[in-house]
Amino acid sequence: MRIGGFPAIIPYRNNNRLIQSYYEGLVSSIILKDICYRLKIRDASLLDRLATYLATSIGSVVSAKNIMNVFKHEGFDVSLPTVYGYLRALEDSYFFHRVPRFDIRGKTALRSDEKFYLCDVGFRYAMTSSPVRNYGHILENIVYLELQRRFKKVVIGRIGEREIDFVAESSDGFTYFQVAMSIMDPTTLERELSAFNSIRDAYPRYLITTDRIGSGRNFNGIIQLNAADWLLGIS
């Protein structure tokens, strides 16, 4: 969750300087060489700033218009088409995954307010100096990447005013996932479970947490799973 999953950094897991250098080299290669060269982008600093913004905001809903307003406030002369183009470039390079929202009740895609997840959470370690205030979002990112491996399509679910972290689609239908670092606090448990209440179909529902205590519990059809066991295919 902190240093990412690239095999090359595992021997240096306790050497922050080498880890930082490794990721900075990858970021430079992807942004300055691959993306800018292929798309003939002149303002590499704006693309780098956008990547940093998204890395800091993983797990949060973002929109191109809000990003444009933030950058203009910072002094960048940027238009909405430019933001869209740069977002598409980061997505096409597989540096970030764009995840659209999905209306569970109407089973239709929504066209506003998407989320972006990093191809590996270790990039956040190198790209932003801001401290991690919500490890739940990083866990979300990791779960999303694994869902992408297991299912043919993964989106963010919305039903009314509530949000389901992920709706995964397969040939058997849909599977719903909520992700939380811990649900040991009863208030957090109630909040996470209540997100499922408005769903009227009978597709599987899972609550993934880092808690060992309570793993395997069944809350009226909602199964609690330990994240590490789930990632390893144990549960």
What's the CATH number where 94 sits?
Answer: 1.10.10.10
Checking if the pLDDT of 103 tops 80, the result is no
DSSP state of 62: B
Q: Is 59 inside a domain boundary?
A: yes
- Tens digits of residue pLDDT in 119-134: 999 998 778 877 777 7
- Pick 208 or 93 by higher pLDDT: 208
Check pLDDT > 70 for residue 109.
no
The whole domain housing 156 covers 7-231
Cα–Cα dist 118/114, whole Å: 14
Distance CA 225, CA 211 (A): 8
- Whether residue 2 is contained in a domain is answered as no
On the question of pLDDT at 161 being above 90, the answer is no
161: Cα separation from own chain's centroid: 20
Poorest-confidence range of 166-170, 182-186, 196-200? 196-200
How far, in Å, CA of 23 to CA of 31, rounded? 12
**Confidence at residue 116, expressed as pLDDT on a 0 to 100 scale:** 95
Burial class (CB in 10 A: 0-12, 13-18, 19+), 223: middle
**Span 63-71, average pLDDT:** 91
% of residues, the chain, pLDDT over 90: 55
Quick check: is 111 in a domain? yes
Which of the four pLDDT bands, split at 50, 70 and 90, describes residue 108?
A: low
Q: Give pLDDT, residue 159.
A: 81
Q: Which two tokens stand for residue 113?
A: 């307010």
Please list the residues that pair with 117 across neighbouring strands.
Answer: 97
Mean pLDDT value across the chain: 89
Do the domain assignments include residue 102?
A: yes
* pLDDT-derived band at 182, boundaries 50, 70, 90: very high
In a domain, 42, yes or no: yes
pLDDT score at 42: 79
**What digits encode the pLDDT tens for the residues 32-64?**
788 888 888 878 888 989 999 999 989 888 989
What the block records as the tokens of 189 is 């448990």
Most confident of 101-105, 155-159, 206-210: 206-210
Stated pTM of the model: 0.91
The sign one gets for the Cα dihedral 49, 115, 140, 173 is negative
44: in domain:
yes
Tell me the mean pLDDT in the region 158-185.
Answer: 92
Sheet holding 96-103, edge to edge: 108-118, 96-103, 153-159, 162-170, 173-179, 205-209, 222-226, 218-219
Instruction: Return the bridge partners of 177, or none.
Output: 166, 206
Q: Are strands 173-179 and 205-209 parallel, antiparallel or unpaired?
A: parallel
Give residue 107's pLDDT band: very low, low, confident or very high (50, 70, 90). low
Contact (CB, 8 A) for 204 and 176: yes
Q: What is the domain count for the chain?
A: 1
Asked if residue 1 belongs to a domain, the reply is: no
Residue at 89 is within a domain: yes
pLDDT tens profile 213-225 = 999 999 999 999 9
pLDDT of residue 140: 96
Strand pairing category for 96-103 and 173-179? unpaired
The residue-averaged pLDDT of 156-180 equals 90
Coil vs helix vs strand at 165: strand
Q: Residue 46 and residue 53: Cα distance in Å, rounded?
A: 10
